[in-house]
Structure 1
Amino acid sequence: MTLTDVPTYLLTITRMTSLEDLWASHEARMASYGFDRVFYAATRFRTDRGMGDMKDALILTNYPPEFTGPYLDGGLFRDAPMVRWAMVNTGTRSWREIAEDYRADRLTPGERRVCEFNALHGVVAGYGISFPRTSARSGHGIGLASTNLDQDAIDAIWTEHGAEIELINNVTHLALMSLPYGAHGHRLTARQREVLELVADGKTVQDVATVLGRNPATVEKHLRLAREALDVETTAQAILKASVQNQFHRYTA
């Protein structure tokens, strides 16, 4: 692979309208560099105490369930050295630095536990990229790892192709952030989305009922179902989450 084909690839992915297609393309592209494991996480609901509720984050990965279960559902990610680094830094970081901290006993017990968990699953070599934050509440990063190569080989690949890999990941990240997303069960139906959009435009329940030719009770029902789908308590929260997840203004031909 040469740098000359990168512009063509970037043009292709910026034309994609499906998050699933874009992610599949990115997995394949990273695998061509030797990174067979990819983990992307993005949130716009950070708090002062951490990444916020993971149900509100966009998580994309090709790690197997036996890894993602303990790592995500079990909460190991909260102690992951690369995640902690990405929360306060932007740019790239080699996993070599983490390995050196592990050997020098500079990691917390929780961080050491994550390193040992990774090693158990054959994930010991890679790079992390933390993307620039668009607000104090946002956080976006990607981990690129290999289960087939050691860190020396990965660092050699990065020396030769690191600039283009970082460029591709940055553009992919921006493209992902422009597409609609939502965890399973957090996606709105067309009617729920339409009702929320109208309320977001400043219309009352009665106004929405008039516009749609429905009664107010039906509109209230759609708003309630939208709140449930987005796992929030108020309509204002539902509007915010749907907006952040780009679920508004989605139309099909």
Structure 2
Amino acid sequence: MKTVFYSKTFSGGGCTFLQNRGKKTLFYKGSLKLIPGQEYDSLIKPIQEIAEAGYTVTLNFRFGRYSLMDWSYPDAWAKEYQSWYNQIGDPVVQWALYNTGKIRWSEINSKDPLGVLTKAKRHGINFGTAHCIAAGPGRSLLSVAHSTREFTDIEMQHLQQSFQKIVNRVARGAFLTEKEIEVLRALASGIRQNELAGELGLTKGAIAARVKKAMRSLDCETLNQAIAVATKWGYLDGPEQSLH
């Protein structure tokens, strides 16, 4: 089954499709590397083994934007679903906007006025489970499908654990570069930007530029907010700290 990677654009409300043609794939948010494709392949493999009828991994979505979408459903369903109206009307997406944890599609109480799940059944996507994790500046959603039966509780637990590993790995470094983390960590300790510029052999403007990029990546308006968010999600505590 072919895997398709999406990068959200706002031209005509559509999506740009990025197809994985090689064994090694790099995912980017702008010019920022999210995770090496070879490492992602290893992390996604346990999910692929359970997802008999396909899956989607949507990382850090908010307000119609996301960092990465990995989609393994049939191409015909991809073309039908890519409509913006299908996306915002998807009861699984609606559930993930307000909930975290895991749930079977059949247990979701949200209405399906556009018949998204009914349309999916025409492509052999009959049963499914959703997993939502709030980490970093957005939410991340795993949706997994089966053609003939509901997923067992044990399968859902394995899916949740595998998805948590992906979210943790991406959240540790997806939104801040090492240079930005270095600056935020120093400023959080009380060092002034002028002093930090001298220590690093940089201009004050270069330090300010790193701060500005970090604030934008973390969706913050002030330096103090950026430090608070970076601290909350473990950016300033080193790469090995768990995010949950």
Q: Same fold (TM over 0.5)?
A: yes
Q: State the match for 1:55 in structure 2.
A: 65
User: Which of 82, 89, 93 is the matching residue for 2:104?
Assistant: 93
State the superposition RMSD in angstroms: 4.3
Q: Relative to structure 1, is the Cα distance of residues 28 and 191 closer, same or farther in structure 2, using a 3 angstrom cutoff?
A: closer
* 1:57 Cα deviation after fit: 6.1
What SS does the aligned partner of 2:127 have? Answer: strand
SS of equivalent to 1:109: coil
- The answer (yes or no) to whether the contact 1:132–1:140 under 8 Å persists in 2 is yes
Kept in 1, the 8 Å contact 2:218–2:226? The answer is: yes
Indicate if the aligned counterparts of 2:140 and 2:167 stay in contact, CA closer than 8 A: no
Cα separation, partners in 2 of 1:243 and 1:37, compared to 1, 3 Å: farther
Percent of residue pairs identical: 17
The structure that has the greater radius of gyration is 1
Alignment partner of 1:193 out of 163, 181, 191: 181
Quick one: distance in 2 between partners of 1:119 and 1:140? 24
Are 1:179 and 2:169 counterparts? yes
Equivalent residue for 1:217?
Answer: 205
1:103-162 CA-to-partner distances (Å, cap 9, x unmatched) read xxx94533x2x2355346x1532221345768xx9755421114xx3xxx223xx3xxx2
When you count strand as a share of all residues, which structure comes out higher? 2
Out of 109, 113, 131, the residue aligned to residue 109 of structure 1 is 113
Query: Which AA in structure 2 matches 1:209?
Result: A
Residue 37 of structure 1: aligned partner: 54
Change in Cα spacing, 1:228 to 1:26, as seen in structure 2 (3 Å) is closer
**Does the C-alpha gap of structure 1 residues 142 and 224 become closer, same or farther in structure 2, counting only changes over 3 Å?**
closer
Q: Which amino acid aligns with 2:154?
A: E
2:191 corresponding residue in structure 1: 203
Query: Aligned partners of 2:85, 2:220: CA distance in 1, in Å?
Result: 22
Q: How many residues align?
A: 204
Does the 8 Å contact 2:56/2:142 carry over to 1? yes
Write the distance in 2 (CA, Å) between the matches of 1:55 and 1:170.
23
Aligned counterpart for 1:154 among listed residues 139, 149, 153: 149
Q: Which amino acid aligns with 1:235?
A: L
Given that 1:39 and 1:143 are in contact with CA atoms closer than 8 Å, whether structure 2 keeps it comes out as yes
SS of the residue corresponding to residue 144 of structure 1 reads strand
**Displacement of 1:166 after TM fit?**
1.6
Deviation by residue 1:42-98 (Cα, 9 ceiling, x = unmatched): 55xxxxxxx743436664443478766875782533321223344347443144x67
Structure 2 unaligned regions, length at least 5: 1-34
Deviations 1:171-202 (A, max 9, x none): 1233223223499xx74443233212222333
Greater RCO (CA < 8 Å, at least 6 residues apart): 1
Point out where structure 1 has 5 or more consecutive residues left out of the alignment.
1-17, 44-50
Equivalent residue of 1:209, what SS? helix
Residues 188, 227 of structure 2: 8 Å contact kept: yes
- Cα contact 1:40–1:141 (8 A) shared by 2: yes
**What SS is found at the alignment partner of 2:181?**
helix
Separation in 1 of the partners of 2:213 and 2:93?
A: 34
